[in-house]
């Protein structure tokens, strides 16, 4: 009987160890896979802001590079939550922006938390440092760093190419000759 209790205790301890290992691995995975602030800000910017704003270009709204140096983070949060409230409060900067951009009202985003708005600002700062807008297509040297364009020094390629074209011509000529031979045989019968 004492041996059975010992086996049960060992199994119970083994189960505790496995559960602890799983919880540790799961929490580590969550901490590793949590998006950095600029990445979360990028996705929010793409979904909520990019239709009217660009980091370095004026669109429907102002270019946002340097917004953190022009305004405090509290001002930015308040403006994003309710731009019209800030404008109606008489804030000179908000009124000037509203007038400069033809009285176009920015949509309110009260559902965004202060942390999410700070992440968008972090994304804007990272894009402004990176030089702004990227090309809409990948450059060949960055997409394929070992890519070299075709040149006359590629003898193997050209030799293979012309051999293949020559073989294709021979096959076509053979097919034509075979068809003519079949017609001759059919005409003799």
Taking only the tens place, the pLDDT of each residue in 77-126 is 998 888 899 889 999 988 988 888 888 888 888 888 888 888 888 888 88
Q: What is the dihedral of CA 55, 59, 60, 66, to 10 degrees?
A: 30
Please give the class, per CATH, of domain 37-130: mainly alpha
Residue 33: pLDDT over 50: no
The closest alpha carbon to 119, from 84, 80, 89, belongs to 80
| pLDDT at res. 50 | 85
Taking only the tens place, the pLDDT of each residue in 134-175 is 544 444 445 555 566 677 777 888 889 999 999 999 999 999
DSSP 88-116: HTT-HHHHHHHHHTTTPPPPP-TTS-HHH
Domain layout of the chain by residue ranges: 37-130
Buried b (16+ CB within 10 A) or exposed e, 72-92: eeeebbbbbbbbeebbeeebe
Tokens 């990227």 appear where? 134
Q: Is 114 exposed, middle or buried (0-12, 13-18, 19+ CB in 10 A)?
A: middle
Q: Residues 6 or more apart from 120 whose CB is under 8 A from it?
A: 41, 44, 45, 48, 49
Q: At what angle do helices 37-44 and 114-129 cross, to 10 degrees?
A: 100
Question: Which of the two residues, 60 and 25, has the higher pLDDT score?
Answer: 60
Question: Which of the two residues, 10 and 28, has the higher pLDDT score?
Answer: 10
| pLDDT at res. 59 | 83
pTM of the model: 0.52
């Amino acid at each position: 009987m004492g041996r059975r209790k010992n086996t049960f205790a060992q199994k119970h301890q083994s189960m505790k160890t496995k559960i602890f290992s799983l919880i540790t691995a799961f929490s580590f995975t969550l901490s590793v896979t949590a998006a950095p602030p600029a990445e979360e800000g990028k996705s929010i910017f793409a979904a909520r802001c990019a239709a009217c704003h660009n980091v370095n270009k004026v669109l429907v709204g102002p270019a946002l590079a340097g917004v953190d140096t022009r305004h405090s983070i509290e001002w930015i949060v308040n403006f994003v939550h309710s731009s019209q409230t800030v404008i109606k409060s008489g804030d000179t900067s908000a009124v000037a922006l509203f007038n400069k951009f033809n009285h176009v009202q920015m949509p309110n985003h009260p559902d965004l938390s202060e942390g999410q708005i700070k992440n968008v600002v972090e994304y804007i700062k990272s894009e402004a440092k990176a030089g702004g807008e990227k090309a809409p297509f990948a450059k060949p040297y960055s997409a394929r760093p070992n890519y070299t364009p075709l040149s006359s020094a590629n003898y193997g390629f050209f030799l293979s190419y012309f051999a293949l074209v020559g073989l294709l011509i021979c096959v076509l000529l053979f097919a034509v000759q075979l068809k003519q031979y079949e017609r001759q045989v059919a005409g003799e019968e």
